[in-house]
Amino acid sequence: MTGKTLRLVALLLASGSTLANAAPSVELKDPYFGEALYYAYQQRHFDAISRLDTELVQYHGVDEPLLDSLNYHINQAEFSVGDFELGYRMHQRAGRAISAVIEGNVPPAVRNEAIYRLARLLFQTQDYANALHAIERIKGELPPGMENPIAFLKGQIYLVNGRFSDAEQIFAALEGRSGYQGFAAYNRGVTLFALGRDAKAAEAMDRAGGVAGNERETEAIRDKANLVLGSRLLEKGEAQLAGKYLERVRLDGPFSNRALLGAGWADIKRDDFKHALVPWSLLFKRNVTDPAVQEALLGVPHAYAQLGLYGKSALLYGSALDKIGSELDKLDASIDSIRQGRFMQALVREEGRENKDWVIRLRELPQTPETFYLMELMASNDFQTMLQNYLDLEDLRIRLASWSTDYAAYNDIIELRRRYYEPLLPTIDAQFRKLDSVIRLRMEQRERLDKKLNKMLVAPQPEFLATAQERISKERIDALEKSLKGKRVDADTLHRVARLKGAILWNITTNYQTRLSEAFEHLAALDKDIAALQVTYAAFVRTRQAATQSYQGYDEPIRRLALKTDNALATVNTLMARQGHLLEVMAVNELVRRRQKLEEYQVQARFALAENYDRASKAKTQEETLRLNEAQQKAAANAPATEQPAAQPAPAMEQETK
Amino acid sequence: MLKSKEFASESWLTKLGVRNYKVFTMSRAICGLLCIGLQFAVPAVAEEVSREQIKGIDEQVQEIKKDVLSISSELKLLEEKLLYPSNTQVSLFVSLPGKDKFRLDSVEVMLDGKAVATHIYSFKELEALQAGGMQRIYTGNVQTGEHLLKVGSIGKGADGKERRQTGEYRFKKGIGPGLVEINLAGAGEGGNGIGFKDW
């Protein structure tokens, strides 16, 4: 296995497979790893990867990595890098690393988890064919706790690849498992609809729409299932049943506008126009940029017209036309604004991204009318990918620009250090060389003493431990002996000399053990002094090296890094321009589409307004005529002898006309 | 005159995309879930922006990310060597126990009598600390020998009352980089004060 493979194998053996599981399962032993996690938990993936990359480079660069504190977390650290890369949408790098594990000599459970991760990655990047190829390679022992996630992913991949029957079987099995009920039932419903088994599909959707739970995800899947099922039933003409499901959708959820619109249409289909006004009137008051609300602008007067309230209907059509006109102006302003580059400026505004629902909140940002109509587009996968890329590029641009200015500061620091140290160092070095030679000499002396004493342990040499006085006395006696040699000397003198010599020898020999012990004690004391000397010596050498290293050897790395930074900044700027342009094109296309739809509504509303106005006028005229006729008949009956006045419908007509 | 069937069949139902079901991805967070849901109403990407274009630029973005990360890593090593050489480097880390209900608002750190760092915590940062992350609050240079570290923290306990704590610690800086962890484990109820650990 390669080093990278080994790294990932070890990592895959770790319990977690997602960022949430990056938390250290054991006590944190390396603060720098903790720092990387600190960034990762805040979704600051760049900082997290960068921190961990740096630590890993240092870890693999040291002579004894086992002594490095990161060694306690090395497997988890390597694993986390892959997770952080996925979080940072670096799928290629993460994918290559996972593939290396799969190809390596690893246990089946580890390989299967790696394949699962690769398949998930491919599925997320919409590479469905390869995702299918990958997931089908999972065979044998599964990693613990991964059975359900693997099955769910497999079902999803089968579904998007058109293998509906296989997908349906998987979702059916998952429906009974804790935590999967709603999601499995919904996806099962989708597969059954695709298979044309509508009755069974409706049952599955019904189960998904009624799944218990207060979590946001559960509430969302419930709403989604009810909306889809209601829409499907409405399409099939089962309006009554459709209404039941559409009314299940929460009024404050993300799907409520569509559900309210659908509920209204379900009532209309049953000719219950009065009831249709209930959901539509709610919708009528909501944000007018929403397509469902815009449709309700015409739906409400349409229902009133069906109820025969032509005047009210005409008034509401008039109001709708005002709103549509205003929205068309807003759309024009938005298109202009995007073409002037303000859309991208709004998207990169920091305050908007503090919240995780920041895309939704864009609508609330002041001075960004261009975002009002783009909520749906901005929620699409393609747009999200491109937008995230754009934001990542903006982040990279800011970093690179900041680094570019840092290099000049580093060069200034280096230059200042050079000017300070260079004049000082020659004198210091000369003094140090002298001191160094003395230290070396003393060290050699110490070594000699040490060797001698150690030899004396084996072969005693008492004379080596004679005191200076004893040595002098012995030398004097030897000299005396030498001078007396060949001379006539009395025996008493010779005896005295011999006694003195003997006394010295006696002392040296009898005190040998004591002296030897003392010698060793002195040597130990000397060693202490030498150790202190060596500390000072090492400190000096380090300080001396640090002085040199503080300004030497940086020029080339800084020049190289500055060049790399400039090149990267140029690339980032180019990519930002291209990515931004694509986003703007998508946004303008969407706005133009919405504009066209509003124009259609405008035409429809104008015709409907005129028609209802005519109907209202006609009804009024008929009513007036009827009233006058009745009055005339009454007058004729009361006064038969007098001349009958002519009927005067004109004022009423004028009033009606007005 | 408008006809209800036209509304229902031509605009609303078509927009709902009932014939174009998408897979519901369970693992996504609620925003992602909403995004997928809304795909029902999103029209196909306009002709001007092709999938190949999106994919191509995405690959280029991944490539530049890799390059910039490499620069960042090199730069970090250079910075450490140039600005904070190991013989004088000292780094201070802040950590929190995960289960503590203490809501940390701010921390102030003084090293040898000088204020070297203050930090006001956002909710995200607090969550990251509670999840087990460690914040490097200060990196600087000090001489070898003994140094005095003083830390003050302000926050709110589970009862909503403000809690202020201070702690001090003497640490010895050796020849290698100095690493000191400031653990605010005792910041909550029944705690034992601010803890320190010399790594």
CB of A187 within 8 Å of any CB in chain B? yes
Which residues on A lie below 8 Å from B91 (Cβ)? 31
Q: Which of A234, A254, A542 sits opposite B8 (nearest CB)?
A: A234
CATH number of B89-198: 2.60.40
β-bridge mates for residue A354, sequence order: none
| Nearest chain A alpha carbon to B60 | A575
Q: State which residues of chain A have pLDDT below 70.
A: 1-26, 79, 350-372, 639-658
Average confidence score pLDDT of chain B: 75
Strand order across the B145-156 sheet: B114-120, B103-111, B145-156, B162-173
Q: What is the pTM of this model?
A: 0.70
The whole-number pLDDT of residue B111 equals 95
Closest partner CB to A585 (pick from B15, B22, B49): B49
The DSSP output letter for A210 is: T
User: Which residues on neighbouring strands pair with residue B107, listed in sequence order?
Assistant: B119, B153
CA distance B165 to A109: 49
Contact B34 A590 (CB under 8 A): no
In chain A, positions 44-73, which contact chain B (CB-CB < 8 Å)? 46, 49-51, 53-54, 57-58, 69
Which residue, chain included where needed, has tokens 């290698």? B176
- pLDDT for B38 equals 32
Question: In this predicted model, what pLDDT tens digit does every residue of A442-500 receive, in sequence order?
Answer: 889 989 989 988 898 888 888 888 899 999 999 999 998 888 888 888 888 888 888 99
Among A484, A481, A467, smallest CA distance to A519 is for A467
Provide the number of CB pairs (under 8 Å) joining chain A to chain B.
279
Q: Which two tokens stand for residue A219?
A: 């509430």
Question: How is chain B split into domains, by residue range?
Answer: 28-83, 89-198
Q: What's the pLDDT score for residue B30?
A: 32
Q: How far apart are CA A387 and CA B25, in angstroms?
A: 20
Pairwise CB contact (< 8 Å): B18 & A392: no
Of A265, A381, A542, the CB nearest to B175: A542
pLDDT tens-place string over residues B20-34: 334 444 433 333 333
Nearest residue, CB atoms, B73 vs list A50, A381, A585 = A50
Which among A51, A92, A190 has the least Cβ separation from residue B59?
A92
Are the C-beta atoms of residues A132 and A161 closer than 8 Å to each other?
A: yes
Give residue A626's identity as a one-letter amino acid code. Answer: L
pLDDT of residue A355: 55
User: What does pLDDT average to over chain A?
Assistant: 83
- Å between A315 CA and nearest CA of chain B: 16
**pLDDT for res A569:** 96
Beta bridge partners of B162: B156
Q: Of A95, A142, A100, which Cα lies nearest the Cα of A119? A: A95
Name the CA radius of gyration of chain B, rounded.
27
What is the distance between the alpha carbons of residues B199 and B187, in angstroms, rounded to a whole number? 21
ipTM of the assembly? 0.79
What's residue B22's pLDDT?
40
Write down the pLDDT at residue A598: 92
Q: How confident is the model at residue B60 (pLDDT cuts 50, 70, 90)?
A: very high
Q: Would the pLDDT of B124 be above 80?
A: yes
Q: How far is A202 from A354, CA to CA, in rounded Å?
A: 40
**pLDDT > 90 in chain B, percent:** 37
| B123 part of contact set with chain A, CB < 8 Å | no
Q: Where are the domains of chain A?
A: 407-555
Report the residue of chain A nearest B45, measured CA to CA: A586
